[in-house]
Amino acid sequence: MTDPIDPRRSDNAFLGALTGGSSEPTFSGALSFMRRRYSRDLGGVDAVVWGVPFDCATSNRPGTRFGPQAIRRASAIFDGDPQFPSALDPFVHMVVVDWGDCAFDYRRLGDVELLIERQAGDIVAAGCHLITLGGDHSITLPLLRAHVATHGPLAVVQFDAHQDTWEDIGTLSHGSFVTAATEEGLIDTARSIQIGVRTTAPTDCGFAVIDAYEAQALGAPGLIRRIVERVGEGGAYLSFDIDALDPAFAPGTGTPVAGGLSSAQALMTLWGLRELAWRGMDVVEVSPPYDHADITAIAAATVVQHYLQILAWRRHTAR
């Protein structure tokens, strides 16, 4: 008879260590992001993953309220291994927890924006690097308010099929957060850039724009060069709308647009931006009801996995 399996090796989300990867079967256990411990104790924590399951500001197909759950589920495939392309276990180099989801009353939509800002602000003010799983793209406005309160105005690097610069006509939508954030002075627009755009909008709000056709012509090396030149050395915030990817790579989204980036091109570009002074990020617009075989959720989870590797790589190389 073989030795019984150590129960401490299961359900790392509740019972395991704060540091290091776990080794649970992908198909079992509590599904936090990459099996990180669920915790709201931020003492000694370097980075926090949390969800904002909100989709009441969508203009087309709903369903992104289920995005955080789907991304967490997809992230289990990364459990316990050195991660590609860094070959690092990010959780050896930093303490990361899953904070759970933003708390709000879905019947009181007028309160949601402020609640996102307050809860995100508490995490950022505690000195933690905040990574947010959306949710529709309207959540980026209160997230930016929370980050800017600590870090000051930030460059925004936005991967997106849409510019989200439509006029805010009394209520914020997922297509107007850039307009609102620019008007509030949250964004350093002279250093900001949008990648993968393939729709038209009334204004660019001062952002540089690399449309999807130009992105294809540039390839990942050219995109990296253009983004780094634009953003420079100051603080930056990453907002990754999953519809930046072509629907072949991200069918599970509310407003899909053909002709977008491939997963490989987007991930290669993100990894090439690892020396930028990142202050926080979100990945938004994952809508599981339209997903097939978790294609979109896997792509979104991999974006976050690459971002965590960037944070770990910076710590590793700074030693």
Write the pLDDT tens digit of every residue in 62-98. 899 999 999 999 999 997 778 999 999 999 999 999 9
Annotated binding site for Mn(2+): 137, 160, 162, 164, 241, 243
DSSP letter for each residue of 90-122 = HHHHS-EEEEEE----TT-HHHHHHHHHHHHHH
The helix or strand, by DSSP H or E, that contains position 123, with its residue range, turns out to be helix 109-125
**How far apart, in Å, are the Cα atoms of 212 and each of 49, 197, 218, 255?**
29, 5, 10, 16
Entry pTM: 0.93
Q: What are the structural domain ranges in the chain?
A: 7-318
Domain 7-318 part of CATH 3.40.50.10470 = no
Annotated binding site: 137, 160, 162, 164, 241, 243
- For 107-152, write each residue's pLDDT tens digit: 777 788 899 999 999 999 999 999 999 999 999 999 999 999 999 9
By C-alpha distance, which of 283, 301, 289 is closest to 243?
A: 283
Separation CA 307–CA 301 (nearest Å): 10
Which tokens hold the place of 113? 């924006």
Residues with pLDDT less than 70, the chain: 1-9, 23, 168-172, 174-175
